[in-house]
Every structure is written in structure tokens, then in C-alpha cells.
Structure 1
Amino acid sequence: MQSVLRTIFPPQCVTCRKLVESEFALCGACWRDTTFISGLICDKCGVPLPGSAGPEMVHCDDCITVARPWDKGRAAMLYKENSRKIVLALKHGDREDLVRPAAGWMLRAGASLIKPNMLVAPVPLHWSRLLKRRYNQAALLGKTISKQANLEFCPDLLRRTSRTAPLDGLTRDERFQALTDVIRPNPKRHEMFENRPVLLIDDVMTSGATLAACTEACFSAGAVEVFVLILARVAKDA
């Protein structure tokens, strides 16, 4: 039956729809235009750095100058070219079929972050924005990642208590200011935090303000460690 279905509906590239050899894959051209992160990376945000990877931890300029309250972070790709198309299609284009390959790329990038008894949680959306968009792409990614890694997932571990204006176009300081006291632990899930590492999931990291607010909320509720795993990292050369 599977072979019959593949004959009728052959696998297509998840971005351009050209025929490919396996399900949920990229064609050669789209793969070349997707900047997956590898080699030497910043241990806090996962951005690639010049040089060769070694045993020591290194940080990018942003993570040296800006407070990053989480322990470690990883990103699957840089936010540019085809990577940007993938993120926008997932975020605004109702392309939920992108969740499975994106989660796989993220888990491959963040394999070193996975720990026993780890709790997976998405960066939350305000209820009004969730109602308009109909889904939280970070929650879809987090649910799939937790299944693949055999970890517990909690979609409402954190709450966004007020709706902030879009952060696009704001400076780094303005982004951090806009998120002050906006994200808090869900009081109904308080016992889930205690003495556990938390893996925060989001689709894009720009300044890190949202992830910092989420991390502080996790620590305030009793998490022992917080790690971040993102699909795409906005870098200065992106």
C-alpha cells in the first residue's frame, strides 16, 4: 500500500514542491539555499562562529555583552534565504506540514542539550494572538520534539499575561523593556518546574528578549536549568 501511495503521491520538497527521494525532505537547490548551522558555535545562542570547533565553550559578541539567563542554546539554521521562507510559511502560511522536518533539524542541532527528566515547553503566545493565528508554531515544534526525544511536553507551562505590540523594528533595549513582567509561570503548572531542567522552544531568536523573559519565569518557579532550542537564529550577517 505504501509503495502504491508513493507512486500516486510521490514525495515533494517541503518548500518548492519538486520531486525528492524521501518524505519531508528538501531538494538539492533548496538545501543549498538553507543555511544549516554547524562547526564552531556560540554556546548560548547557537550562532556559527569563525574557527574550528573544540572542547571549550565560546560565546558570540552579542552573548558576551547581553545577559543570557539560560544555560545553553542551540539553533538549527540561520534566518535567511530559504530558512526565512520556511519560518514564515510555518508561522503565517498554515504550513503545519513543515513541523516534522523542522523539529528533526532542531533536535539534531540540540541533541547535546537533552537531559533525563527534561520538560519541554514552547514560548507562549497571548490568547488573543493565538485565537487569530489558530496555533502556536512553537508549541507544534515542541510537541513533535518531545515525542522524538521521549520527553514530557507542557504546552501551557508559561503564560503571556498581556499582548505586546509587534517587536519588529524595535531596538534590542526596547524589546527587553517591552517584555518586562509579561511572561510568567502558569500557576496551574507550578509543581512541574521544581528541580527539573526545562527546554524552551521557539521558531526564531533575534535579540533573545523573549527567551530571556521565559527563562527568568522558569527559574522563578523552581527550574534547576533552562536551555533554549530554536529553529532559526537571526545573525548580523543574515
Structure 2
Amino acid sequence: MVAVAPALRRLGVGILDALLPPICLTCDTPVGEQGGLCPACFSRLSFVTPPLCEVCGVPFPHDGTGLRQPEGFWCEACVAAPPAFSAARAALRYDDGAKALILPFKHRDRTELARPLARHMARAGAGLLRAADLLVPVPLHRWRLFRRRHNQAALLASELSRMSGKRFDPMLLRRVRPTKPLGELGARQREAALLGAFALARGAGPKLAGRRVLLIDDVLTSGATADACARVLLGGGAAAVAVLAAARVPDPRLERLS
């Protein structure tokens, strides 16, 4: 029976492909397998590669020579104010190519995009994923969750849990106060806006004590939300908190230097 199961799965996939031929996740061009991208759409994805900040993962400008990055490079922001999380990594630069996947996933109920995004995340954050004891998604406030119908970070965390076998707890961290969009705010304004926005669920202490937590999000922008979540998790007894996101907004100050 064990040997038969893979054959049955392959047969099922073959029947599905015959009835519903695989198409690109973003442009509907025919592709070789379900859940894939066509060459044109894949070529528009910009993956986050070194050199990057060892802490927050923001990519630095580089000349494309492929020189190995020395260890210990920190960006100016992390030197000035180190975040509570130990490290953050992301799979993609948040540009037009990444937006073609993330915006439909986030706002148009394209929940099937969680799996391919999580695959990219698993590669980008392989070390963080191996070291983690527990996956925790960045929570949505209940009213935003009601409007959106799903928490995109929780869907990504669920897929990563399935791929890695790591434990996943979508209810451990709560957003108890709604916050306005942080994109246009300065650092101090973001910190003030997030003050008291997150809290641990009742009884979370024993689940967190001594655990290495990997915080999961869809897009990492300034890192302020991840930092606020990490402080709450560390305050609840977590041994360490790292961050893994599908995409990272490059620092515009650094982008101007490239």
C-alpha cells in the first residue's frame, strides 16, 4: 500500500493536468506543472542576495561581481538601534515582480499563492528555519481579519510548517489594537503607533519558554512591526526571535547609492 500511494498521487496529478492544464500563477500562460510561473514572469522576480545586512537582511547595493560578503555587515539603522530580533531574511525584493504574486495573495483571495511563496521563503531562510523551534505568524487585528477573511502570514507559516515539520502556532501572538499603515511614518512615529499593539494569548508562557521563534510575515518594510512582535515574544520567555518574510522593501537610501 505504501508503494501504491505515490503512484496514485502521480495518477491524480496527471488527471488534474489533463482536465485543467497548468497555467502561470500570474499571467495564465501554459506552464509545465501546477503552481508554477512562466519564464517571463519568473524572470521578473528579484531575489534578495548578498551583500545584505546581517541583522535586518536589507540588501546593499552591489556591482554584480559576486564577491563573497564579509561576515558581520550591519546597516546604518541596525548599528544605530539594534532590533529585538536576531536576524531577518526575505526571499524577494518587493518590486513589481514580487507584487504580482503578493498583492493578489494578500487582497484578492489568491490563497493558492501561499505555497510557491513559502517555497521561496524556505530557500532564503533555510538556516533560520532549521534553527527554529516554533513558527509564529504576525497577527492581524480581528477587524482586518474579518474584512480580509484570511491572515496571509498565517497561511505562509502553515505552508512552512508543512514543509519543515516545525511546530506552528497561529494563536500565540495577538494584535490587540489596530494600527494605521506605517509606510509614511518616521521611526519614532512607527514605534509610538505600535506601542501596545501586540500581546501574547492567555497561557502562551509555557509554549514560549526557552523556544527559538521564527516570526513569519508577507512583507518586511521598516522592520518596526517585526521588532514590536519580537519584544513581546522575548518578554514572554522566548529564547530568541528571528524573522522570515516573503519579500523585503529595499532601503530607499541605499537604493539611491546603486
TM-score, shorter chain, exceeding 0.5: yes
Residue 117 of structure 1 and its aligned partner are, at CA, apart by 6.1
Q: Select the residue among 15, 38, 42 that pairs with 1:4.
A: 15
Q: Matched residue of 2:216: which SS? A: strand
Name the CA shift for 1:62/1:26 in 2 (closer, same or farther; >3 Å).
Answer: farther
Aligned structure 1 segments of 4 or more residues deviating by more than 6 angstroms: none
Residue 68 of structure 1 and its aligned partner are, at CA, apart by 1.2
1:234 matched to 2:249: yes
Greater mean alpha carbon deviation, residues 35-44 or residues 214-223: 35-44
1:31 matched to 2:42: yes
Structure showing greater Rg: 2
1:218 corresponds to:
233
Q: Give the superposed CA RMSD.
A: 1.7
CA–CA separation in structure 1 for the residues paired with 2:148 and 2:55 = 30
Identity, % of aligned pairs?
39
User: Under a length normalisation based on structure 2, what TM-score does the superposition of the two structures give?
Assistant: 0.86
1:43 corresponds to:
54
1:186 matched to 2:201: yes
Structure 1, unaligned stretches of length 5 or more?
Answer: none
The answer on whether the counterparts of 2:218 and 2:247 sit within 8 Å (CA) in structure 1 is: yes
User: Under a length normalisation based on structure 1, what TM-score does the superposition of the two structures give?
Assistant: 0.93
Q: Matched residue of 1:188: which SS? A: coil
CA–CA separation in structure 1 for the residues paired with 2:179 and 2:113 = 27
The answer on whether the counterparts of 1:126 and 1:160 sit within 8 Å (CA) in structure 2 is: yes
CA–CA separation in structure 2 for the residues paired with 1:127 and 1:80 = 29
Per-residue displacement from partner, 1:86-131 (whole Å, max 9, x unpaired)? 2211111111010000001001100011245610000011111111
The answer on whether the counterparts of 1:115 and 1:197 sit within 8 Å (CA) in structure 2 is: no
The answer on whether the counterparts of 1:120 and 1:151 sit within 8 Å (CA) in structure 2 is: yes
CA–CA separation in structure 2 for the residues paired with 1:228 and 1:109 = 11
Name the CA shift for 1:117/1:211 in 2 (closer, same or farther; >3 Å).
Answer: closer
**Code of the aligned partner of 1:89:** P
Alignment size in residue pairs: 238
Structure 2, unaligned stretches of length 5 or more?
Answer: 1-10
**Code of the aligned partner of 2:37:** L
CA–CA separation in structure 2 for the residues paired with 1:29 and 1:70 = 36
Residues 139-158 of structure 1: pairs in structure 2 closer than 5 A: 139-158=154-173
Q: Matched residue of 2:204: which SS? A: helix
Name the CA shift for 1:118/1:41 in 2 (closer, same or farther; >3 Å).
Answer: same
Per-residue displacement from partner, 1:40-92 (whole Å, max 9, x unpaired)? 32222223233633461322233233431111111000111110222211111
Residue 28 of structure 1 and its aligned partner are, at CA, apart by 1.1
Residue 217 of structure 1 and its aligned partner are, at CA, apart by 0.4
Residue 11 of structure 1 and its aligned partner are, at CA, apart by 1.5
Greater mean alpha carbon deviation, residues 131-140 or residues 160-169: 160-169
1:174 matched to 2:183: no
Residues 1-238 of structure 1: pairs in structure 2 closer than 5 A: 1=11, 2-49=13-60, 50=62, 52-54=67-69, 56-115=71-130, 118-235=133-250, 236=252, 237=255
CA–CA separation in structure 1 for the residues paired with 2:199 and 2:133 = 19
